Amino acid sequence: MRRLLILGGTAEARALAARLDGQADLHVVSSLAGRVANPRLPVGEVREGGFGGPEGLAGWLREHAIDLVVDATHPFARRMTASAVAASAGTGVPLLVLRRPGWQQGPDDDWRWVPTLEAAARLLPELGRRVFLTTGRRSLAAFTGLDLWFLARSVDPPTPPLPGRTVVVLSRGPYTLRGELELMREHRVEVLVTKDSGGEMTTAKLAAARELGLPVVIVRRPPVPGGVPLADTAEAAAAWVEAQAG
């Protein structure tokens, strides 16, 4: 029996685990980093917590006789992906990176692409005074030096420091266009800041910004390391796993 480790936490990771669940010749283990207090759990065996960097992950792969790894972490989980690449190279365990496609700008979108959160912060004063932040609970420190008002949304309470004038909304997607329009109108939002996470669960905020004519500042996702096989859907990742049997 082959053993597959899915580095998960995303909808694609859960879909992949569900697709492969029950195969007689495959045992699937999904690993969650533990950064969300009450994560959505995939089917099958689940482990929680980090590995201790590339060396720790490599040791875990050897100890548990893992045959294949799929990195289906968040597109901005740069360190986890780097650890997976290094551990795969060090152990010879084949690795696939599963990344959902990024968002595509439409003709009616007013998007401003930036490389980092810090670059997003520098751009904000010229775009609006009331900012809707959807960049994750660990990102607010980048905006603390700004004399602006922030609506910050995250699944769990954000990590300090926070900007001086911040209202926190704890919520988990998927979101609706109607709900996002109501939220933005209620708080008189003038600009949206987000990361290019991709996927359908949170696209409603982009549609709402388009309908309201608001500018959107989007942080580009880090590139996937070169030389690593890449899939953009759970179906494609499952096909790769099945092909390794040959």
Q: Which amino acid is at 34?
A: G
Whether pLDDT at 124 is above 90: yes
Model confidence at 173, pLDDT cuts 50, 70, 90, reads: confident
Compute CA 191 distance to the chain's CA centroid, rounded to the nearest angstrom.
Answer: 21
Q: Which amino acid is at 100?
A: R
Whether omega before 174 lies within 30 degrees of 0, making that bond cis, reads: yes
pLDDT for 219 equals 98
Whether pLDDT at 151 is above 80: yes
72 plus 116 within the same structural domain: no
Q: What is the pLDDT of residues 38-70, one digit of tens each?
A: 778 899 999 998 999 999 999 999 999 999 999
Average pLDDT over all residues of the chain:
95
pLDDT for 245 equals 72
Within a domain: 48: yes
Instruction: Note down the domain range covering 42.
Output: 2-101+222-243
Give the CATH number of the domain where residue 53 resides: 3.40.50.720
pLDDT for 246 equals 62
23 plus 76 within the same structural domain: yes
Q: What is the pLDDT of residues 178-229, one digit of tens each?
A: 999 999 999 999 999 999 999 888 999 999 999 999 999 999 999 998 899 9
211 plus 226 within the same structural domain: no
204 plus 129 within the same structural domain: yes
Whether pLDDT at 34 is above 70: no
Within a domain: 106: no
Residue from 231, 245, 246, 244 nearest 16 by CA = 231
122 plus 211 within the same structural domain: yes
143 plus 62 within the same structural domain: no
Place of tokens 């670059």: 119
Model confidence at 35, pLDDT cuts 50, 70, 90, reads: low
Q: What is the pLDDT of residues 73-104, one digit of tens each?
A: 999 999 999 999 999 999 999 999 999 999 99
Within a domain: 173: yes
pLDDT for 131 equals 98
pLDDT for 73 equals 96
**DSSP tag of 48:** E
Give the CATH number of the domain where residue 129 resides: 3.40.50
Whether pLDDT at 37 is above 90: no
Q: What is the pLDDT of residues 227-236, one digit of tens each?
A: 999 999 999 9
64 plus 86 within the same structural domain: yes
pLDDT for 38 equals 74
* Strand (E) or helix (H) holding 16: helix 11-20
Within a domain: 179: yes
117 plus 204 within the same structural domain: yes
CB 146 within 8 A of CB 163: yes
The DSSP string of 131-159 is EEEES-TT-GGGGTT--SEEEEEESSPPP
226 plus 200 within the same structural domain: no
22 plus 89 within the same structural domain: yes
Within a domain: 228: yes
Rounded CA-CA distance 44/64 in Å is 16
178 plus 239 within the same structural domain: no
Structure-token pair, residue 98: 């599963």
87 plus 125 within the same structural domain: no
Mean pLDDT score, 108-130: 97
Domain count, the chain: 2
